[in-house]
């Protein structure tokens, strides 16, 4: 069965020298991948890569919260412009969000929130799903999301508590489970908590593989195997379900 990796970074330098080879291998095992931009540079490389592999790599454009510290209003305007100009190509606005693990100061967190809100406003306006990063800020991020009328919300790499999983799911948000499920107890609990029709698979490649080794999008197959064993379910059945969920999360654009 071919799966979908709904969040990776195949344009990142970690794949230099092997990128096309990796994509070929991905095409054997995967139906498609969603590649997420995280700042001006990677938004550009994401758009270029998806153009080159149209119909297999789908782009999202955004501004990652950990990149916000070094950015100013002009950079934000540039990202908003990129989103508008490519709104016919992108499948979501992302990644966007807040990260309190990396940002400890009130001033920095406030700036993250301001930027996040501007990006959410635009996503609301153009009717695109959002891919949301919320490390150590899950509670605050969920509260902010509630204020917007968004067509689809994908909680990327979600690591919140059981209570917050319930809260997100009750809002109709999707919980995207990374390859952390191979080694993280917290993520295994999330898999047990979230309803099967709200779970998506992602790798966040090149990150989040056990032992900090380089991750590859086709490793979603390892996650599927693991999740099937956690839930005592058949790989085929839940794999099909996850693919269906992903299409729904991205509003049926693929």
Q: Residue 202, interface with Zn ion (CB under 5 A)?
A: no
**Could you tell me which residues come within 8 angstroms of residue 177 by beta carbon, excluding any fewer than 6 positions away?**
158, 187, 190, 191, 199, 200, 201, 202, 223, 227
> Contacts with Zn ion in 96-135 (CB under 5 A)?
none
Tokens of 234: 């058949």
Residue with the shortest CB distance to Zn ion: 204
Question: Given the complex with Zn ion, which of 82 and 238 has the nearer CB atom?
Answer: 82
Q: What single string gives the DSSP state of each residue in 71-82? A: --HHHHHHHHHH
> Contacts with Zn ion in 44-83 (CB under 5 A)?
none
Q: Residue 204, interface with Zn ion (CB under 5 A)?
A: yes
Piece of the chain touching Zn ion by CB under 5 A; list 168-176, 202-210, 219-227, 240-248 = 202-210
Handedness of CA 68, 71, 77, 82 (dihedral sign): negative
Q: Please, is 86 exposed, middle or buried when counting C-beta atoms within 10 Å of its C-beta (0-12, 13-18, 19+)?
A: middle
Question: Given the complex with Zn ion, which of 5 and 113 has the nearer CB atom?
Answer: 5
Question: Given the complex with Zn ion, which of 23 and 208 has the nearer CB atom?
Answer: 208
Q: Could you tell me how far CA 79 lies from the centroid of its own chain?
A: 17
* String marking each residue 145-184 x if it binds Zn ion according to CB under 5 A: ----------------------------------------
Question: Given the complex with Zn ion, which of 131 and 238 has the nearer CB atom?
Answer: 131
Contact yes or no for 76/113 (Cβ under 8 A): no
Contact yes or no for 102/66 (Cβ under 8 A): yes
- The distance of closest approach from Cβ of residue 101 to Zn ion in the complex, given in angstroms and rounded to an integer, is 14
Question: Given the complex with Zn ion, which of 67 and 238 has the nearer CB atom?
Answer: 67
By CB under 5 A, name the binding residues for Zn ion: 204
């Amino acid at each position: 069965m071919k799966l979908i990796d709904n969040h990776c970074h195949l344009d990142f330098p970690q794949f230099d020298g092997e990128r096309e080879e990796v994509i070929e291998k991905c095409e054997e095992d995967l139906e498609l991948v969603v590649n997420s931009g995280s700042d001006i540079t990677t938004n550009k490389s994401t758009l270029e890569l998806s153009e080159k592999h149209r119909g297999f790599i789908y782009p999202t454009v955004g501004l990652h919260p950990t990149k916000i510290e070094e950015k100013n209003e002009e950079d934000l305007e540039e990202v908003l412009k990129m989103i508008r100009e490519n709104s016919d190509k992108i499948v979501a606005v992302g990644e966007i969000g807040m990260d309190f693990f990396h940002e400890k100061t009130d001033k920095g967190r406030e700036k993250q929130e301001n930027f996040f809100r501007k990006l959410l406003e635009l996503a609301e306006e153009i009717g695109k799903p959002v891919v949301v990063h919320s490390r150590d800020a899950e509670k605050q991020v969920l509260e902010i999301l509630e204020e917007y009328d968004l067509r689809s919300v994908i909680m990327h790499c979600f690591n919140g508590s059981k209570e917050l999983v319930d809260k997100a799911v009750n809002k109709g948000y999707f919980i995207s489970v990374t390859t952390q499920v191979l080694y993280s107890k917290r993520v295994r609990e999330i898999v047990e908590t979230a309803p099967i029709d709200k779970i998506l698979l992602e790798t966040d490649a090149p990150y989040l593989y056990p032992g900090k080794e380089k991750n590859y999008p086709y490793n979603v197959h390892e996650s599927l195997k693991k999740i099937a064993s956690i839930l005592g379910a058949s790989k085929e059945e839940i794999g099909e379900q996850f693919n269906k969920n992903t299409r729904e999360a991205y509003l049926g654009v693929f």
